[in-house]
C-alpha cells in the first residue's frame, strides 16, 4: 500500500526446563539476547539508558534495522520500519528464527522453548504483539481516526485471532474463570482488553494506545500503536491483519469515513471472541444488531470502491480480504491454511477425538501452547507447515535475508549502514529510530522513515572516521 510505514513488536513467551530451577525465563531471555549480539553479531548493543527501565546492555539495534531487547522479563523483537507488506512479514519471521537459533546454540532447545503467543494458562499473564502504523498528522486523531477504527479492530479478530483454549476473567470485576464455561475462543488478547482508548500500556490495555510518540517528524506524522492484536504464526494472517488495517487508514486519510459505531466495543470484542456459533452478532450504537463479518464487509466494500487498482499489494489485500470474509461466512473450516484460530481448533479437535478428551483437559491446554512453539521439531504449526497445509506469502530466502539485511527502501537502510561502520570502533554512540549520535557531537537526522538517507549516511560515516579535530 502506498505511503505507509509498518512495524511489529513481538514479546516471546519462554518455558524453562523443569529439571533446572536456575534456568528461569528471565535468565534464558537475557542469554538469548546476549547471544544475538555478542556471539551471532547481528547488531550492536545500547551503551546508554533508553529510559528508566532500559539500562545500557538491555538491548540494541540489529543490522536488519530492528531491535532485540528485554521487556518485563521477555525477550522482545521489533521489526525494522517496512514500507512493503511482505517485507514486514519476512522481517517478522526473521525475529522468530533469531531467538530460536540462539536457543539452539545455547544447547537449550531440547528442554526450553520460546513461544510466539500472548497468554499462559497458569498465571493469567498476557504478553503483547504490538502493531505500529505511521499516519498523517493532519488526520484528526480523536475526532475521526479513533472512532472510525474501533469497530474495525473489534471485528478484525475473526481472521486475525490466534485462538485459545478457555478464558481469562478478572476476578475483581467479572467473577471466576471457572464460571465462564468457555471452551475455546478465537482471540488470545480479547479477554485482556479492558478499555477502548488509553495512553499508558502498563496501566490499562486498550484497543488503541494513544501515546503520541511518532519516532519521526512530529509535524508530519504520528504513530498508531495497537495492543489489541494476537501474535500470528500464519504468514497469511499477519499479512492480512496488517494489510487490511493499512487500507482502512488510507481511507481515513483520504476523507472516507465509515459510519459504524458499536454500543460497547470492549464487551463486543469479548463476545465475538467467545462465540463459537460463528454468528458473531454485535449491537450498534443505535440499538440495531449486525455481525462482525458484515462490519468487516462494510470496510472492505469502501476500500474496494476507492482504493482498487492503486498498487499490487493493495489489490492482493482486497482479493484475500473478500475471500476470507466469504469463507468465514459460509465455512470457517475452509480457511484452515490461512487463519490461525481455525487451524488450531481443527488440530485440537482431531486430537481430542482420537484421545477421548474434552476442552478442559490440561493436555489440551498444553497443546494449545505447543501450536506457538518456535521449535520446528515440536511446534504444531510447523507440523502443518511441513505437510504443505499452510499458505505462504514469503519464502525462506526472503526470511533469511531479513535476519541481517534491512528493507532497501526505508531509513532502516541508513541505520544499518552506520551501525556496520561503527562496529569494532571505540566511539561512543546513541542509536535511535529517528537519529544517531556519535561522540564529538556528530549527529545524523533520520526523521523521515520513507527515505533511505544513503548520501547522508555516507557523509556521516566519513565524518566519524575522521575523528575529532585536535587543537593546535
Alpha carbons 280 and 451: distance in angstroms, whole number: 42
Q: Is the pLDDT of residue 406 over 60?
A: yes
pLDDT at 180: 60
Encode pLDDT of 142-160 as tens digits.
Answer: 889 999 999 999 999 999 9
Residue 67: phi, psi to the nearest 5? -140, 150
pLDDT at 383: 95
pLDDT at 205: 74
pLDDT at 198: 63
The three-state DSSP-derived secondary structure of 289-306 is: EEEHHHHHHHHHHHHHHH
Higher pLDDT, 242 or 124: 242
Of 34, 71, 383, 458, the active-site residue reads: 71
- Among the listed ranges 272-286, 330-344, 420-434, 443-457, which one has the minimum average pLDDT value? 420-434
Residue 437 banded pLDDT, cuts 50, 70, 90? very high
Residue 471 banded pLDDT, cuts 50, 70, 90? very low
Alpha carbons 202 and 71: distance in angstroms, whole number: 12
Q: Is the pLDDT of residue 176 over 50?
A: no
Q: Is the pLDDT of residue 51 over 90?
A: no
Q: What is the percent of the chain with per-residue pLDDT over 70, rounded to a whole number?
A: 94
Q: Is the pLDDT of residue 219 over 70?
A: yes
Nearest residue to 96 via CA among 233, 239, 285: 233
Alpha carbons 344 and 41: distance in angstroms, whole number: 36
Q: Are the CB atoms for 419 and 63 separated by under 8 Å?
A: yes
Q: Are the CB atoms for 262 and 282 separated by under 8 Å?
A: yes
Alpha carbons 112 and 52: distance in angstroms, whole number: 30
- Among the listed ranges 49-53, 93-97, 376-380, which one has the minimum average pLDDT value? 49-53
Alpha carbons 242 and 6: distance in angstroms, whole number: 8
Reply yes or no on whether 71 is catalytic.
yes
Residues in CB range of 245: below 8 A, 6 or more apart: 131, 133, 152, 153, 156, 226
Q: Is the pLDDT of residue 366 over 80?
A: yes
Q: Are the CB atoms for 129 and 118 separated by under 8 Å?
A: yes
DSSP string, 302-330: HHHHHHTTS-HHHHHHHHHHHHHHHHHHH
Alpha carbons 28 and 227: distance in angstroms, whole number: 25
Q: What is the percent of the chain with per-residue pLDDT over 90, rounded to a whole number?
A: 82
Note the pTM of the prediction, 2 decimals.
0.94
Give the start-to-end residue ranges of the domains of the chain: 412-466
Q: Are the CB atoms for 259 and 302 separated by under 8 Å?
A: no
Which three three-digit cell numbers place residue 395?
A: 519464502
- Integer-rounded Cα radius of gyration of the chain: 22
Residues in CB range of 459: below 8 A, 6 or more apart: none
pLDDT at 424: 81
Alpha carbons 91 and 7: distance in angstroms, whole number: 9
Q: Is the pLDDT of residue 169 over 60?
A: yes
Encode pLDDT of 80-122 as tens digits.
Answer: 999 999 999 999 999 999 999 999 999 999 999 999 999 887 7
Encode pLDDT of 301-355 as tens digits.
Answer: 999 999 999 999 999 999 999 999 999 999 999 999 999 999 999 999 999 999 9
Could you tell me how many residues make up the chain?
Answer: 472
Residue 177 banded pLDDT, cuts 50, 70, 90? very low
pLDDT at 173: 46
> Which H or E element spans position 193?
none
Considering the chain, what is the average pLDDT of its residues? 92
The C-alpha angle 55, 214, 52, rounded to 5 degrees, equals 20
Alpha carbons 171 and 195: distance in angstroms, whole number: 17
Checking DSSP bridges between strand 195-198 and strand 206-209, what pairing results, if any? parallel
pLDDT at 94: 98
Amino acid at each position: 500500500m502506498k505511503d505507509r510505514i509498518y512495524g511489529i513488536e513481538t514479546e516471546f513467551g519462554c518455558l524453562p526446563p523443569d529439571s533446572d530451577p536456575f534456568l528461569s525465563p528471565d535468565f534464558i531471555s537475557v542469554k538469548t539476547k546476549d547471544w544475538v549480539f555478542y556471539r551471532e553479531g547481528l547488531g550492536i548493543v545500547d551503551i546508554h539508558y533508553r529510559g528508566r527501565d532500559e539500562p545500557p546492555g538491555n538491548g540494541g539495534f540489529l543490522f536488519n534495522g530492528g531491535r532485540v531487547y528485554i521487556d518485563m522479563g521477555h525477550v522482545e523483537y521489533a521489526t525494522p520500519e517496512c514500507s512493503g507488506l511482505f517485507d514486514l512479514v519476512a522481517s517478522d519471521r526473521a525475529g522468530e528464527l533469531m531467538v530460536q537459533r540462539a536457543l539452539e546454540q545455547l544447547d537449550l532447545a531440547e528442554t526450553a522453548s520460546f513461544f510466539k503467543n500472548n497468554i499462559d494458562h497458569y498465571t493469567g499473564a498476557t504478553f503483547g504483539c504490538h502493531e505500529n502504523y505511521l499516519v498523517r498528522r493532519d488526520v484528526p486523531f480523536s475526532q475521526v481516526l479513533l472512532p472510525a477504527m474501533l469497530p474495525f479492530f473489534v471485528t478484525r479478530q475473526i481472521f486475525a485471532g490466534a485462538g485459545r483454549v478457555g478464558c481469562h476473567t478478572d476476578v475483581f470485576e467479572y467473577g471466576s474463570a471457572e464460571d465462564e464455561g468457555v471452551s475455546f475462543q478465537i482471540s488470545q488478547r480479547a479477554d485482556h482488553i479492558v478499555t477502548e482508548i488509553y495512553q499508558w500500556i502498563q496501566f490499562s490495555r486498550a484497543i488503541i494506545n494513544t501515546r503520541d510518540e511518532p519516532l519521526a517528524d512530529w509535524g508530519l506524522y504520528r504513530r498508531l500503536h495497537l495492543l489489541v492484536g494476537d501474535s500470528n504464526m500464519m504468514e497469511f494472517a499477519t499479512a492480512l491483519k496488517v494489510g487490511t488495517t493499512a487500507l482502512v487508514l488510507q481511507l481515513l486519510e483520504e476523507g472516507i469515513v465509515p459510519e459504524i459505531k458499536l454500543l460497547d466495543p470492549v464487551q463486543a470484542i469479548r463476545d465475538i471472541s467467545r462465540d463459537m456459533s460463528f454468528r458473531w452478532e454485535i449491537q450498534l450504537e443505535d440499538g440495531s444488531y449486525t455481525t462482525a463479518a458484515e462490519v468487516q464487509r462494510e470496510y472492505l466494500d469502501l476500500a474496494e470502491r476507492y482504493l482498487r487498482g492503486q498498487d499490487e499489494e493493495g489489490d492482493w489485500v482486497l482479493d484475500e480480504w473478500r475471500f476470507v470474509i466469504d469463507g468465514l461466512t459460509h465455512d470457517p473450516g475452509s480457511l484452515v491454511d490461512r487463519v490461525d484460530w481455525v487451524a488450531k481448533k481443527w488440530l485440537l479437535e482431531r486430537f481430542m477425538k482420537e484421545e477421548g478428551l474434552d476442552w478442559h483437559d490440561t493436555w489440551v491446554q498444553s497443546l494449545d501452547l505447543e501450536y506457538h512453539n518456535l521449535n520446528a521439531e515440536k511446534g504444531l504449526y510447523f507440523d502443518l507447515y511441513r505437510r504443505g497445509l499452510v499458505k505462504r506469502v514469503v519464502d525462506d530466502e526472503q526470511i533469511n535475508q531479513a535476519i541481517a539485511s534491512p528493507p532497501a527502501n526505508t531509513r532502516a537502510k541508513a541505520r544499518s549502514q552506520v551501525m556496520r561502520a561503527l562496529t569494532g570502533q571505540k566511539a561512543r554512540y546513541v542509536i535511535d529510530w529517528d537519529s544517531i549520535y556519535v561522540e564529538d557531537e556528530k549527529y545524523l537526522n533520520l526523521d523521515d522513515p520513507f527515505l533511505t538517507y544513503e548520501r547522508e549516511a555516507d557523509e556521516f560515516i566519513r565524518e566519524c572516521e575522521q575523528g575529532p579535530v585536535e587543537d593546535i
